[in-house]
């Protein structure tokens, strides 16, 4: 068995990469440790994709929006953002797209062994007794989020132990009367800018938020304060609260919380810290759901319908690439000969300390393809949140549309080398 491209990690960036690679005629395989595609978008329940200047930034994005909208899993929000996705239908859409692009997919699979010759990857072996032969490959793309493949072959990394952000464990509540909740919260929050709501394709879509930071006069603050006083919530539960509706789920809301606060921050690569964080986050989910039922109109019959299978990790390992992109490059909008993405998404650094999170506006920036090429191996590439950047610039580059651009960009680059 021989492939032109093996994509390790069928998540956000990996799917964009594999789809494009397959469409460009390269024989492509995805190796995915879970039983579904989409990574943080599906298993982590992260929705919606952020809005940036480069709307429709990739063919992959356009195809995905089209495919999802035909099965009721996408809407375009009132601000023009097409990235409001249904995470369950996304799994189905991604399966279909990989079939269309003739990409082979192996679920529940991880790389067990790698054969390298000097700085060149020759073949890999997966953890299966049945598919036990080595699989030859011309290129490998590490899109595991944590650089798990690159770690196996002793690559160099850029991350320092202090460079962490809090992780979130997302969840969904269903059984909500969204009409009642929308009418109530729009009236309750009418003088502020935190809540938006719109009727789209016959379904109410909305978003609202609260954080413990004092930079905004949050409408929901009296409820959070009271809930802490009455021990419905712990103070740490009030760190961050954000909800979005989900296309095709007219009685549900996706929660971008709890944000797991801890000083020092939890290291998602440490299995002990990560496991404790997951257990603690699920307790927090129970408290937040009780808070919603007690304080928010329309939640009387609501219940937890889903908890993310995977922890939402903002940053972990970052590969050392041919170019290390910096926050100065981003702030100055430095231009490059081979950009793989253009964006204006802010530098978004969450912190466990109150009033310490950063959301720094940018004027637009691009990322060179060299930040996706390994410094250590001539046929190893990286896409997604584990690219070759400093900590601060990664905090702007990790969003879903940018991960799509990286995946598509690297597939096109590999195709240009092969033809």
Ligand X SMILES: Cc1cc2nc3c(=O)[nH]c(=O)nc-3n(C[C@H](O)[C@H](O)[C@H](O)COP(=O)(O)OP(=O)(O)OC[C@H]3O[C@@H](n4cnc5c(N)ncnc54)[C@H](O)[C@@H]3O)c2cc1C
Residues that bind ligand X (CB under 6 A): 8-14, 31-34, 39-41, 46, 49-50, 110, 143-146, 148, 168, 256, 312-314, 384-385, 398-400, 403
Pick the closer one to ligand X by CB: 63 or 170.
170
Instruction: Considering the complex, state which of residue 183 and residue 344 has its C-beta at the smaller distance from ligand X.
Output: 344
Q: Which is nearer to ligand X, 347 or 399 (CB)?
A: 399
Closest CA to 397 of 331, 339, 343, 319: 343
Minimum Å gap between C-beta 301 and ligand X is: 27
SS3 content of the chain, % helix, strand, coil (to 5): 30, 25, 45
Is the CB of 168 or the CB of 284 nearer to ligand X? 168
Distance CA 16, CA 126 (A): 22
With 0-12 CB in 10 A as exposed, 13-18 as middle and 19+ as buried, what is 342?
Answer: middle
Least CB distance to ligand X at residue 16 (A): 8
Output 61 or 218, the one with its CB closest to ligand X.
61
What DSSP string runs through 299-335? -TT-EEEEE-SS-B-S----B-BSS-B-HHHHHHT--
- Whether the Cβ atoms of residue 220 and residue 210 lie closer than 8 Å to each other: yes
* Least Cβ distance, residue 141 to ligand X (angstroms): 10
Q: How far is the CB of 10 from ligand X (least distance, A)?
A: 5
Q: Which is nearer to ligand X, 220 or 308 (CB)?
A: 308
Q: For the chain, how far is it from start to end, CA to CA, in angstroms? A: 21
Report the residue number, 140 or 400, with the smaller CB distance to ligand X: 400
How open is the CA angle 98-103-108, to the nearest 5 degrees? 85
Q: How far apart are CA 144 and CA 202, in angstroms?
A: 37
Least gap, CB of 36 to ligand X (angstroms): 8
**Nearest approach, Cβ of residue 206 and ligand X (Å):** 15
The CA R_g of the chain, rounded to the nearest whole Å, is: 21
Least separation in angstroms between residue 312's CB and ligand X is: 3
Q: State in angstroms the smallest separation of the CB of 117 from ligand X.
A: 22
* Cβ closest to ligand X, residue 56 vs residue 187: 56
Judge whether 93 and 15 are in contact, CB under 8 Å.
no
Instruction: Decide whether 57 or 182 has the Cβ nearer to ligand X.
Output: 57
Least Å distance between CB 399 and ligand X?
4
Task: Return the number of the residue (67 or 259) whose C-beta is nearest ligand X.
Answer: 259
Complete edge-to-edge strand list for the sheet that includes strand 303-307: 196-200, 203-211, 240-246, 249-255, 171-174, 303-307
CB of 239 to ligand X, least distance (A): 12
24 Cβ contact partners less than 8 Å away, ≥ 6 residues apart: 411, 412, 415
Closest to 81 measured CA to CA, from 398, 342, 407, 400: 400
Contact 265, 164 (CB under 8 A): yes
CB 144 within 8 A of CB 15: no
Helix (H, G, I), strand (E, B) or coil at 176: coil
């Amino acid at each position: 068995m021989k492939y032109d491209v093996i994509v390790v990690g069928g998540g956000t960036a990996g799917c964009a990469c594999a789809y494009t690679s397959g469409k460009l005629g390269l024989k492509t395989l995805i190796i995915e440790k879970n039983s579904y595609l989409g990574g943080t978008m599906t298993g982590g329940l992260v929705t919606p994709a952020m809005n940036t200047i480069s709307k429709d930034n990739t063919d992959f994005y356009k195809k995905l929006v089209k495919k999802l909208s035909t099965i009721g899993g996408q809407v375009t929000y009132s601000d023009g953002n097409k990235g409001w996705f249904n995470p369950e239908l996304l799994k189905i859409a991604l399966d279909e797209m990989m079939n269309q692009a003739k990409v082979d997919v192996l679920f529940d699979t991880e790389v067990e062994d790698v054969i390298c010759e000097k700085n060149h990857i020759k073949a890999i072996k997966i953890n299966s007794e049945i598919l036990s032969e080595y699989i030859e490959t011309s290129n490998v793309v590490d899109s595991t989020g944590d650089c798990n493949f690159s770690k196996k072959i002793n690559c160099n990394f850029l991350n320092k132990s202090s460079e962490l952000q809090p992780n979130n464990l997302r969840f969904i509540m269903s059984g909500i009367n969204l009409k009642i909740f929308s009418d109530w919260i729009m009236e309750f929050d009418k003088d502020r800018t935190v809540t938006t709501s719109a009727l789209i394709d016959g379904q109410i879509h909305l978003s609202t938020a609260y954080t413990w930071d004092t930079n905004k006069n949050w409408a929901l603050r009296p409820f959070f304060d009271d809930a802490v006083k009455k021990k419905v919530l712990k103070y740490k539960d009030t760190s961050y609260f954000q909800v979005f509706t989900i296309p095709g789920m007219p009685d549900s809301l996706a929660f971008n919380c709890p944000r797991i606060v801890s000083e020092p921050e939890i290291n998602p690569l440490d299995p002990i810290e990560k496991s404790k964080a997951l257990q603690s986050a699920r307790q927090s989910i129970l408290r937040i759901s009780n808070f919603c039922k007690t304080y928010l109109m329309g939640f009387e019959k609501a219940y937890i319908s889903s908890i993310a299978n995977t922890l939402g990790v903002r940053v972990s390992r970052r590969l050392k690439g041919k170019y290390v992109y910096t926050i100065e490059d981003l702030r100055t909008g430095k231009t490059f000969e081979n950009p793989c993405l253009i964006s204006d998404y802010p530098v978004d650094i969450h912190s466990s300390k109150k009033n310490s999170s950063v959301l720094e506006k940018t004027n637009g920036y691009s990322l060179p393809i060299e930040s996706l090429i390994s410094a250590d191996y001539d046929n190893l590439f990286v896409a997604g949140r584990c690219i070759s950047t400093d900590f601060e610039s990664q905090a702007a580059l990790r969003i879903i549309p940018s991960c799509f651009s990286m995946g598509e960009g690297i597939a096109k680059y590999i195709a240009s080398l092969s033809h």
